[in-house]
Amino acid sequence: MFETVKQLAGYAHALRLLVERDLSSRYKGTMFGLLWLILQPLLMVVVYSFVFSVIMKVRIPGAVDNPYHFAVYLMAAMMPFMAFQDAITAASSALFVNAALLQKSTIPPLLLPLVPILSTVVTELIALLIIIIATWVLLDQVSVYLWILPLLIVVRLMISLGLGYIIAILSVFIQDLRQALGLLLTILMFLTPIVYPVEMVPPEFLGWNDINPFYHLLDAYRSVILRGELPGEGFYWVLLFAFCLLGFGIAFFQKTIIRAKDFV
C-alpha cells in the first residue's frame, strides 16, 4: 500500500486537475455554477427544518428541547452518508466514464475512482460547515470537539474508497450491480439509525447496530457536532474497519483492473 501511495504522489498535479474538473463540470452550464455547492446543503437544511420542526414537530425524547434540534440532528448524519452514497455511485461508473483514459493513456487506474470520491470530500466539507453554522444559529451550540471532524472525514473517505474500488471493478463484471446499487444504498441508509434515533431501535435489533460501522461513524459525527462529546468506543471498530476495507479494496482493484480493462 505504501508503494501505491508513493506511485500516486507523482500524479498529484494530475489528480488536482482532475478533481477540479470533476467539481466544475458538475455545475457546468448552470446559472449559479459553483454556488450550488453551498446552495444544495443550505436548501436541504431549510427544507428539513421546516418539515420536521415546523410541520411535524418531531422531538427526540430526552434530547435538548428545541424545535430545530431534530432537523440538525438528522442533517449531521445524513450529509456524511449522502457523501458516501455519492462516492459509491460515482465509483461504480468511474471506469466506464473514463474508458478512453483507462485504455489509451498511462494514467494509473487507481486515480479514476479516486477523483470523484475526493470530490465528495469537498461537498461534504461545505455541507458540514453549514450544519455547524445551523447548530450555532438555531441551537446556540458550538462543540469544543469540532477539531476531530477532519479525522471523521478521513475515515469516511477511507471507507468510501475501500468500497468504491471494489464496486468500480464489480460493476464492470456484473452489469446488474449498477442497477441495484441505488436500492442497496437506500436499504443501508434505513438499516442505519440516520432518519431515526438509535433509542427507537427495538432491543432485539441492537446487535446489528453494534457491528454496523456506519452507525458508529455517523454517531461520531453527531457526538462531535451536536453533543459536544468525543466519539464513543465503537469508533475504534470503525477505524479498524476503514483500514481493512481500504487495504482490501486497493489490493482487489490492483489485482483485477487488468481484467476489467478489457470490458469497459
Partner 1 sequence: MSAVIAKQLGKVYQRYQRPVDSLKEWVLRRKYHEEFWALQEVSFHCEPGEVFGVVGDNGAGKSTLLKILAGTLKPTHGELIVNGRVSAILELGSGFHPEYTGLENIKLGCAMLGLNEQQTLAKIPEIIDFSELGDFIKQPVKSYSSGMFVRLAFAVVTSVDPDVLVVDEALSVGDQHFQKKSMDRMMAFKDQGKSLLFCSHSLYHVKELCERAIWLDKGIVRMQGKSSEVIDFYNDHVRQQNRVSVAVSSTVSSATIKPVPVSEDNGSLTAHLTEASLLDVNFDTHGRPLYRTGERFALKVLASVQASLAIDDVHIGIIIKRNDGVQCFGVSTVLDDKVLFHISGREFGVVYEIPHLTLLSGVYSLEIWLIDATSAHVYDSIQSCCEFRVSQPGTEVGVTYFEHSWLAP
Question: Which residue, 194, 169, 164, is CA-closest to 86?
Answer: 164
Q: Could you tell me if 245 and 159 are in contact, meaning their C-beta atoms sit under 8 angstroms apart? A: yes
CB of 98 to partner 1, least distance (A): 7
CB of 258 to partner 1, least distance (A): 7
Q: What is the DSSP string of 202-225?
A: -GGGHHHHHH-HHHHHHHHHHIII
CB of 14 to partner 1, least distance (A): 4
Report the residue number, 209 or 256, with the smaller CB distance to partner 1: 256
Task: For residue 38, give the C-alpha cell.
Answer: 453551498
Report the residue number, 98 or 135, with the smaller CB distance to partner 1: 98
Give Cβ neighbours of residue 9 (< 8 Å, ≥ 6 apart): none
CB of 102 to partner 1, least distance (A): 9
Task: Return the amino acid letter for 221.
Answer: Y
Report the residue number, 80 or 109, with the smaller CB distance to partner 1: 109
**CB atoms near residue 85 (< 10 Å):** 19
CB of 263 to partner 1, least distance (A): 4
Report the residue number, 193 or 249, with the smaller CB distance to partner 1: 249
The distance of Cα 227 from the centroid of its chain, to the nearest Å, equals 21
Q: Could you tell me if 159 and 213 are in contact, meaning their C-beta atoms sit under 8 angstroms apart? A: yes
Residues that bind partner 1 (CB under 8 A): 10-11, 13-14, 17-18, 21, 25, 97-98, 100-101, 103-107, 170, 172-175, 255-256, 258-260, 262-263
Report the residue number, 18 or 117, with the smaller CB distance to partner 1: 18
Torsion of CA 191, 146, 2, 160, to 10 degrees: 20
CB of 24 to partner 1, least distance (A): 10
Report the residue number, 40 or 256, with the smaller CB distance to partner 1: 256
Q: Could you tell me if 248 and 161 are in contact, meaning their C-beta atoms sit under 8 angstroms apart? A: no
